[in-house]
Amino acid sequence: MNTGIVELIAFGLVAIVAGFFLLVSMVLELAPEQRRKWLLGIGLGTGIIAFSLKIGLILLFSLYPGPMLSLFPERQHEYAPSHLPDGGRHDSSLVKTPYTWQALPASAPSPGDNPQTAEKIRLGRMLFFDTRLSADGTLSCASCHEISSDKGGGDGLRASIGIGGQQGTRNAPTVLNAAFQKVLFWDGRATSLEDQAKGPLINPIEMGMPSLDRVVATVSGIAEYIEPFAAAFPAQPSVTIDNIAKAIAAYERTLITPDSPYDRFVKGDSSALSAQQIRGMALFESTGCVFCHSGPNFSAASIFADDIPFRLFPSVPDTEYEQQYGFTDDPGAAPDHSGSKPGIWRIPSLRNVNRTGPYFHNGSVASLEEAVRIMARVQLNKSLSNSATDDSSIHWLPGDRRLAVATQQALSDSEVDEIVAFLKALDGDLPPLH
């Protein structure tokens, strides 16, 4: 049972029992003829007191995520952040209960209004690779989302190239394992694969169709689609934009990579990871990467997480990396922000991250090692140093009259290499293209 609930019950019982015995002791002091009346009053009063205590304790405990008293000392610091002189706003050295590692499921779930069928998946694959869905007949979904070992569901470009050679502004997110994400695009503006599939079709610098109606008219005019649509949607065989999106989404739900070395290790194969990768796995947790890149899909923006799918990036302002890589030029999901402020971004999955460079929303970072250093600095407020003396800090807090000791404050070159080695273990077997 959750120890917070146990504490609530314990405090409630103690208060009720104490109140009961106090009332009984008072009644025993009365004359015998008065006791019957008072005993009835005790019964009613105890019930009212118990109910009031329950309501009061529930409200009180809701204000404090940690325990009120040290009945359970092992939880005492579960939610306590390290307090540094700057207020600790950007410090992530949060002491929590041990993290539970999870393997990726062997299949992705589908919504009730779009169940998977072989016919629908086959149609979706046709549409995914068809360049005729673009305005000039040169680009398909697969143009920016290549299912290959060197592209990893992206295109390997800093920013994707649309029709007419137009340059986009954002790096193409991987389509691999996108079926497990609850919001899509870097700014999270789509909440399903079906919703996402429609966007690039009519984006003027991507596939460039003037309207979704034009997409429907184009597909309707291609004879080879008549039979596949009838097979995939027997109750509504005509071409509609919703059915186009449903078919593409059905195919994309097959593009998952559940059997990586990491998955085999978590499932019990102790030889699946090297000693260096296991050390990197431990560092990935202890450094704080799991605060955002958690769960089977290594993203708090996945369907497995009950968490906010967005994060401020960069969360540590004015680092050496911010201007070097132009991280604040794009406000992301916060269009009211100017370029001088950090953006709000969907948390990407780290599955197959070794294959999906260049990195970040603007594709400005070429190497995975550099991406790890940047994340340690701008999100976790770590320094980058090979000196052991930089790995911890001690601060006297005069207001609280106590010391704040912060550890794991620096990331060394060897630790970066270990984390990168672990991230490479997230590469899974690519799904078949047919």
pLDDT digits (tens, 9 = 90+) for 111-133: 999 999 999 999 999 999 999 99
Could you give the CA distance from residue 45 to residue 23 in angstroms, rounded to a whole number? 9
Q: What is the pLDDT of residues 173-218, one digit of tens each?
A: 999 999 999 999 999 999 999 999 999 999 999 999 999 999 999 9
Q: Can you tell me which residue has the tokens 């009365």?
A: 30
Q: Give me the pLDDT at residue 133, please.
A: 98
Q: State residue 83's pLDDT score.
A: 31
Q: What is the pLDDT of residue 111?
A: 97
Predicted confidence (pLDDT) at residue 82 exceeds the cutoff of 80: no
Q: State yes or no: pLDDT of 411 exceeds 90.
A: yes
How far apart are the C-alpha atoms of 327 and 343, rounded to whole Å? 8
Q: Are 206 and 178 in contact (CB under 8 A)?
A: no
123-159 tens-digit pLDDT: 999 999 999 999 999 999 999 999 999 999 999 999 9
Closest CA relative to residue 423, chosen from 315, 269, 298: 298
pTM: 0.77
64-78, 96-110, 118-132, range with the lowest pLDDT: 64-78
Q: Quick one: pLDDT at residue 65?
A: 41
CA angle (340, 343, 345) in 5-degree steps: 170
pLDDT at residue 98 in the model = 83
CB 422 within 8 A of CB 280: yes
Domains of the chain (ranges; CATH) run 3-75 (no CATH), 118-252 (1.10.760.10), 261-424 (1.10.760.10)
Is a pLDDT exceeding 60 seen at residue 72?
Answer: no
Tell which phi-psi region holds residue 337, choosing left (phi > 0), alpha (psi between -120 and 50) or beta. beta
Q: What are the residue numbers of the active site? A: 206
8 Å CB contact between 427 and 118: no
Q: Is the pLDDT of residue 90 over 60?
A: no
- State the pLDDT at residue 164: 96
| Per-residue confidence band for 408, with pLDDT thresholds at 50, 70 and 90 | confident
Please write the tens of the pLDDT for every residue from 256-303.
Answer: 999 999 999 999 999 999 999 999 999 999 999 999 999 999 999 999
DSSP sequence for 108-151: ----TTS---HHHHHHHHHHHT-GGGSTTS---HHHHS--STTT
Where is average pLDDT lowest: 34-48, 171-185, 334-348, 349-363?
A: 34-48
Question: How many angstroms separate the CA atoms of 318 and 422, rounded?
Answer: 29
Q: Which two tokens stand for residue 118?
A: 């072989």
**Token pair of 79 as six digits:** 């939610």
Predicted pLDDT at 92: 42
